[in-house]
Amino acid sequence: MSRIAIIGGHGKVALHLSRILSDEGHDVTSFVRNPDHVTDVTATGAVPEVLDVENSTTAELAQALTGHDAVVWSAGAGGGDLARTYAVDRDAAIRSMDAAEAAGVKRYVMVSYLGAAADHGVPEDNPFFAYAEAKAAADDYLRGKGLDWTVLGPGALTDEPATGQIETDPANPGDGTRTSRANVALVTAAVLELPETIHRTITFKDGTEDVVDALTAG
């Protein structure tokens, strides 16, 4: 049994994940910004804590993470406001990595997206540009930290039920890489148990191979 912190706890992936991890017997702390979301988080079996990661200092985040065995970043600004996108998806994410290190929490899993990279190719006039820039910066910063990191890159997200089957290393981002949020949660829970996924960037979509088999193949 581990003590796992989820940042961005009211997101759809996070709610699936906290239920999976709680059912497996882990102690889950789920950080949310809005106090109105506490009831939804509690229903998953996780322990909710209200924390505004956008405006929290590294020291405040480190205090919140102290005593945990792993951190999952599943937060996001949700688009729309460019300043908030950079503030949450890049700056707060980076502070959370420094905070994990300061708190002695070695395991860190980043939920990113398929295609996240410095050369993402999104035009500057595209509304998605700020998010692409922010995620690329955060992912690269994580890869340079001395943490036991994993970066997850699911394809286009859907609300389809979990199948427990994926395909890793899909060729092209976009609608052809549809990935259910429930499957993303299953993958996230699995990598927390699989040391062979440490220091890997794992891209995936819904597919036909069992999650664990796909993550450990080769």
Per-residue model confidence as pLDDT tens digits over 105-139? 999 999 999 999 999 999 999 999 999 999 999 99
Cα 179 from Cα 160, distance rounded (Å) = 8
Residues 51-97: tens digit of each pLDDT: 999 999 999 999 999 999 999 999 998 877 899 999 999 999 999 99
pLDDT of residue 45: 98
What's the domain range around 89? 3-216
Q: Is the dihedral of CA 186, 191, 197, 203 positive or negative?
A: positive
What three-state secondary structure class fits 4?
A: strand
Whichever domain contains 112, its CATH number is 3.40.50.720
What stretches of 52-171 adopt beta strand conformation (E)?
A: 70-73, 107-111, 148-154, 157-158, 165-168
Q: Provide the number of structural domains found in the chain.
A: 1
